[in-house]
Structure 1
Amino acid sequence: MSGPVPIDRAVGAAMFAAYRDATPGLPPEDDVVVACFGDSPELADELIAFVVDGPKRATAGLVAGYAADGEPLPRIGSHWVACDGSGQPRAVLRATELRVGPLHSVDEQFAWDEGEYDRTLETWLDGHRRFFRRECERIVIEFSDDLEVCFERFRVVWPPDLAD
């Protein structure tokens, strides 16, 4: 795998502005996150495809990763612009449900809602343990199934042809 994705934040902000202009009554959001899934262009492309072409409506991130990057945890109702592996925005997502708990607390329904690969808990744990181990190396902490994870469900709200 190659390194992190170079995100085009200006184009992502423009996508969010188009969504905001088309959606009256949204509460203000100071700094909408523009980011990608995963930790490489290849993984970002693979995972955004599960969103735009398939059933992915959940994601999970290490709480320690958010802290190390100086980013707040998502909030219910908050938005983020999901990018592909080239850093281009593909969809605006809105958090609908959040839960913080240890990695080992993930259940079969959450694995299914993430919509990746065969959607089983076993496959979810295998892939996320690998990813979280890389994340732990990056932020210099020890991996454990007891690490706190932010489990997030979302819906796609923009562009209109992809919206749930």
Structure 2
Amino acid sequence: MDVETFWQHFKTAHPEITTTHHDTYAFGSTDESADLLAHLVKIGQKTATTSALDLYEVDESLPFVGEYNVILDAHDQPVCVTQTKVTEVVSFDQVTQEHAYHEGEDDRTLASWRREHRAFFANEYREAGQTFNEQIPCFCEVFERVD
């Protein structure tokens, strides 16, 4: 099913939702991670995410509280809908154990979160011609699966 049809089915099932705005994206940088992370969101284990604030495009809007998101798998197929509940900007070295746990990945510890995100962000920064350090601003988002 395409994203717009999926979104319209969601809106029909939830007539109290009057917004027409939603963001659409897949998590991760590989097909394998996109499928795994979409699955973790669908089963309710992944309820948070983190991105590098510096790497948002100038014309790319930041997630905002109340925003709906259609989560995609590796084949750009919609898996579920989330709603953003909390956003905050903190430096990489100040991301908390609680946030790491809510990201739902690996063993859900801060140590594994830092290891995996350090490698992920270092690669993203390198591809952007920039240098990663542990004080980069991170955009932390907490969401809830709503369908």
Q: Do they superpose with TM above 0.5?
A: yes
Equivalent runs, 1:15-164 vs 2, <5 Å: 15-30=6-21, 32-67=22-57, 70-158=59-147
Percent identity (aligned) = 29
SS at match of 2:89: strand
Alpha-carbon offset, residue 97 of structure 1 = 0.7
Number of equivalenced pairs: 147
Runs of 4+ in 1 over 3 A off after TM superposition: none
Structure 2, gaps ≥5 residues long: none
CA deviations 1:100-124 (Å, max 9, x no partner) are 1111110111111111111000000
Partner Cα distance (1:101, 1:133) in 2: 17
TM-score, normalised relative to structure 2: 0.91
| SS of residue matched to 2:45 | coil
TM-score (norm 1): 0.83
CA distance in 2, matches of 1:21, 1:66: 32
Q: Give the unaligned 5+ runs of structure 1.
A: 1-9, 159-164
Report the 3-state secondary structure (helix = DSSP H, G, I; strand = E; otherwise coil) of the residue aligned with 2:9: helix
Q: RMSD of aligned C-alpha atoms? A: 1.6
